[in-house]
């Protein structure tokens, strides 16, 4: 029976666009605050804690590791908890509370212990917002529109992830700590208001079922009935060839750990493993650009932090504009074409980044224009690879969920899945800049990009073999052998 007293503003608070915007702002705030503080940490350690200069780099690396470690440790437990709660908004708000506490501690800290605790809380918040937020998106839109929505969200949040460190450095130089943490507090305020107001579809349906069902394509019944499209086809048909459910049945007699966390069995599926690898490489590429563009701009063009920040426009604009289009293409044509073409496309564009350091342009201005153009070409590639990993992983796990009714619980395995996704994405954000920085120092920026391009090429080949299932030519050969 619908409630006689629904919440004020139920229709717009449970609107699909508002829910997606809330998740996008949450993800943006998490990455933005992470990047905003990074360039300020060395000055905090030197000015507030009086560390000697020769120890600052090691402590900065340790504080970054504390963030990543917390994200890795808490991602999977958060996913388990989120799949067992009636509403995802509660853990989503808890994640914001952790981020608020972390920001306050960073703003006021005057010793190493407080900084470490603050970074751990930031990492915990990241685990919550990525795990619960992506599960809320799937609950809201269903697999049918997941690629388009994820592409839009990732193109939006990438702007914050890539530009925040430079903006943090500029604000610190112009305004000191007050400007840096003041901007962070403003984003937290907006994030807090939206998370308080949002109402999930499955909660809204309890109050007023017929109106809520008109709010968007991701209503509860759409998800429960397998997200059938208007022409009667199953949603996964555009993504993958049909496979019997028997291929996804989990045999009985599994050990206690798998019975408690059945998604662990799903990780034996090579499609899911490669989907997670794609997420890792995607995050590592984002973090590589984040770590190397400012330093290379300073080396090549003697740019300061503000000028280096402007270079990110060339990288961000194609990502921002093409992300939704690339996501739509994933929904329509499948995950394999986007993953293979996206990573294959990045191979030459990454290699071409060696040209500015080779000084082939006749003057400095032309060299700057060349670098911006090459960054824009790479931004196109980043847009293409933005959503295949999430859509592919969701599709694989959905097949296991449908083939094993009730095994994953009432709410399914999706928050657990996004917990693993958060884990590998956080690992990519951490390992990417460490490796790229080491390579840049040892073999130079030009050769570093060749190594990164090789990684993209390997990922493209693995995507061709596994993402979306085996390629058609290999399936035909297997069918002929069976005959």
Lowest mean pLDDT among 81-95, 239-253, 374-388: 239-253
Give the burial string for 113-127 (b: 16+ CB within 10 Å, else e): eebbbbbbbbbbbbb
- Measured distance CA(250)–CA(405) in Å, rounded: 11
44: helix, coil or strand? helix
Check the CA dihedral 81-85-88-91 and report its sign.
negative
pLDDT score, position 397: 87
Centre a 10 Å sphere on the Cβ of residue 411 and count the other Cβ atoms it contains: 18
pLDDT score, position 240: 41
Residue from 138, 189, 214 nearest 33 by CA: 189
Check the CA dihedral 22-293-440-386 and report its sign.
positive
- This prediction has a pTM of 0.74
Upper half-sphere CA count for residue 422 (Cβ side, 13 Å): 35
- Measured distance CA(192)–CA(61) in Å, rounded: 30
Q: Is the pLDDT at 296 greater than 50, yes or no? A: yes
Residues ≥6 apart with Cβ < 8 Å to 347: 453, 454, 456, 457, 460
How far are the Cα atoms of 66, 136, 424, 430 from residue 73, in angstroms, in the given order?
10, 21, 11, 14
Residue from 400, 471, 459 nearest 428 by CA: 459
| Tens-place pLDDT, residues 361-410 | 778 888 889 999 999 999 999 989 988 988 898 888 888 888 888 777 66
- Measured distance CA(448)–CA(459) in Å, rounded: 17
Domain ranges of the chain: 10-203+261-474
234: helix, coil or strand? coil
| Tens-place pLDDT, residues 181-214 | 888 888 888 888 988 888 887 777 777 554 444 3
Q: Is the pLDDT at 39 greater than 80, yes or no? A: no
| Tens-place pLDDT, residues 426-454 | 888 778 877 887 888 888 888 999 999 99
- Measured distance CA(306)–CA(354) in Å, rounded: 23
- Measured distance CA(449)–CA(13) in Å, rounded: 45
CATH class of 10-203+261-474: mainly alpha
- Measured distance CA(239)–CA(237) in Å, rounded: 5
Q: Is the pLDDT at 412 greater than 50, yes or no? A: yes
Q: Is the pLDDT at 241 greater than 70, yes or no? A: no
Residues ≥6 apart with Cβ < 8 Å to 412: 83, 401
Lowest mean pLDDT among 186-195, 273-282, 286-295, 381-390: 286-295
For the chain, the residue count is: 483
Q: Is the pLDDT at 128 greater than 80, yes or no? A: yes
pLDDT score, position 225: 39
């Amino acid at each position: 029976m619908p409630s006689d007293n629904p919440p004020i503003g139920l229709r717009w608070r449970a609107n699909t666009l508002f829910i997606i915007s809330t998740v996008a702002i949450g993800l943006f705030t998490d990455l933005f605050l992470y990047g905003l503080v990074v360039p300020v940490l060395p000055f905090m350690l030197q000015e507030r804690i009086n560390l000697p200069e020769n120890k600052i780099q090691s402590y900065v690396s340790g504080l970054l590791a504390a963030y990543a470690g917390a994200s890795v440790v808490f991602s999977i437990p958060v996913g388990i908890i989120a799949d067992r709660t009636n509403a995802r908004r509660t853990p989503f708000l808890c994640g914001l509370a952790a981020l608020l506490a972390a920001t306050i501690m960073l703003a006021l800290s005057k010793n190493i212990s407080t900084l470490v605790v603050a970074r751990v809380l930031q990492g915990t918040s990241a685990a919550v917002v990525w795990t619960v937020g992506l599960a809320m998106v799937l609950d809201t839109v269903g697999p049918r529109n997941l690629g388009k929505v994820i592409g839009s969200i990732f193109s939006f949040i990438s702007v914050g992830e890539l530009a925040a460190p430079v903006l943090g450095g500029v604000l610190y130089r112009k305004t000191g700590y007050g400007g840096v943490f003041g901007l962070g507090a403003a984003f937290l305020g907006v994030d807090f208001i939206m998370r308080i107001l949002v109402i999930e579809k499955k909660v809204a349906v309890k109050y007023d079922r017929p109106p809520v069902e008109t709010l968007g394509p991701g209503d509860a019944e759409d998800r429960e009935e397998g997200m059938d499209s208007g022409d009667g086809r199953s949603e996964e048909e555009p993504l993958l060839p049909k496979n019997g459910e028997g291929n996804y049945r989990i045999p009985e007699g599994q050990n206690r750990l798998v019975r408690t966390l059945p998604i662990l069995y799903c990780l034996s599926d090579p499609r899911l493993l490669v989907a997670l690898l794609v997420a890792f490489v995607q995050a590592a590429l984002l973090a590589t650009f984040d770590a190397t563009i400012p330093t290379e701009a300073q080396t090549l063009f003697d740019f300061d932090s503000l000028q280096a920040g402007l270079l990110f426009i060339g990288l961000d604009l194609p990502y921002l504009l093409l992300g939704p289009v690339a996501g739509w293409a994933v929904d329509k044509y499948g995950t394999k074409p986007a993953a293979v073409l996206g990573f294959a496309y990045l191979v030459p564009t990454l290699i071409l980044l060696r040209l500015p350091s080779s000084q082939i342009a006749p003057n400095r201005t032309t060299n700057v224009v060349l670098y911006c153009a090459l960054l824009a070409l790479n931004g196109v590639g980043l847009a293409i690879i933005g959503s295949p990993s999430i859509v592919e992983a969701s599709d694989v796990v959905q097949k296991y969920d449908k083939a094993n009714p009730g095994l994953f619980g009432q709410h399914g395995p999706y928050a657990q899945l996004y917990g693993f996704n958060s884990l590998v994405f956080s690992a990519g954000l951490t390992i990417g800049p460490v490796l790229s920085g080491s390579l840049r120092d040892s073999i130079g920026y030009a050769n570093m990009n060749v190594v990164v391009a090789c990684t993209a090429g390997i990922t493209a080949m693995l995507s061709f073999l596994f993402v979306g299932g085996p390629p058609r030519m290999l399936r035909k050969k297997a069918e002929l052998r069976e005959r």
